[in-house]
Homo-oligomer: A and B are copies of this chain.
Amino acid sequence: MKIKYDLLDTCGRARLGKLHTNYGSYDTPMFMPVGTQATVKTLSPEELKECNSGVILSNTYHLWLRPGEDIVDKAGGLHKFMNYDGPILTDSGGFQVFSLAHNKKKDIVEEGVHFKSHLDGRKLFLTPELSIQIQNKLDSDIAMSFDECIPFPVDYEYAKASTERTLRWAKRGKAVHSNPNQSLFGIVQGSSYADLREYSAKETVKMDFDGYSIGGTSVGEDKETMYKMVDDAIKFLPEDKPRYLMGVGDPIDIIEGVIRGVDMFDCVLPTRLARHGNAFTRNGKINIKNLKFKEDFTPIEDGCDCYACKHYTKAYIRHLITADETFGARLLSIHNIRFLIRLVEELRVAIKDKTLLEYREEFLKNYLGDKYESNK
């Protein structure tokens, strides 16, 4: 079936909702862990569920290159291939083409994008149709339209031409989309130009997608610009469809996104930070390799209910990371993912209780510490 979104409550523009999928119903706002290559780095599906994960992400570009969509298809689809019985969203490959292509060189033409594989330099050509066809085969629950992720800053003329092309690509992708169990999201582009965001949002909505994504953020712009991109796009999106802010996983950005009406977030940040020994805490990020944790026999974060915090100390995890033992990255990944999922759980309560702005203030005060200045 296609996904269905129920709006249950609001607090300002923030939305409490429920997303019904082929693999159960999940509360929104939600944070979606990223399983780039059909695995959320170092974790098992059971560990993700224990973190209370709902939708997880996987990357079309990576799976296209390796193992190839036909193998995933023959395995019975991505859920069966990777043993995840929750909903899966696949991105379009667009972002990876722009960020990972060999030497970052690519040639964008009307038909699609010519570029070289980041693995072996082999020439590749990805089109809106091919992206959708690959995603159809992967059999994810939610597929994304193929778009151009515009770099920042970019001049108005380029942004306008690219935004229009992304609309044409969205139409072409939608036309070939054929998996009845897969929903398809449109992506709003337009860089930092309010009129282009409005235009892109309105034209994308006209095509009637199952959900809408705000793209082209987290590409080098400052925070205020990013929040404005969200503001400029989101007001033209329909109330009855989920809104997804792509690639955003900084805790403060998630809070700001939720306040602006975003329902879904994804980011590699929690697992990437973990591999470098970093952990989120309510009092800001810490690096577990710091000498001061050498004899710290307390959990990563007091009060955290994750597996890592329930059973292990900072001193032990520091030892593992220092000794290059992957169980260390695994424990930090569990903690960081659970941290962001707990954050959205608390944001949902705050929406219901109409205390979202107070929640933000309290969170920022703890998270930024001395750097905190009232946002008001």
- Interface residue ranges, A against B (CB under 8 Å): 37-39, 41-44, 62, 66-67, 71, 74-76, 81-83, 294-295, 297, 311-313, 315-316, 318-320, 322-323, 325-330
Contact = CB atoms under 8 A, between A and B. Distances in A.
B42 A319 contact: no
B323 A66 contact: yes
A320 B295 CA distance: 35
B42 A313 contact: no
B294 A67 contact: yes
B42 A312 contact: no
A330 B330 CA distance: 11
Given A297-B74, A316-B81, A316-B82, A66 B322 contact: yes
A41 B83 contact: no
A311 B83 contact: yes
A320 B71 contact: no
A319 B37 contact: yes
Kindly report how many copies of this chain are found in the complex they form together. 2
A75 B39 contact: no
A309 to B, nearest CB: 12
A100 B101 CA distance: 41
A74 B295 contact: yes
13 contacts: A39-B328, A41-B326, A42-B326, A66-B319, A66-B322, A67-B322, A71-B315, A74-B295, A75-B315, A76-B297, A81-B315, A83-B312, A326-B326
B83 A39 contact: no
Contact of A323 (B37, B74, B318): B37
Contacts of A83: 311-312, 316
Given A316-B81, A327-B43, A297 B75 contact: yes
Contact of A44 (B75, B294, B327): B327
Nearest to A63: B319
A294 B82 CA distance: 15
A294 B42 CA distance: 22
Contacts of A76: 297
A43 B327 CA distance: 7
Contacts of A316: 38, 75, 81-83
A178 B362 CA distance: 52
A67 B319 contact: yes
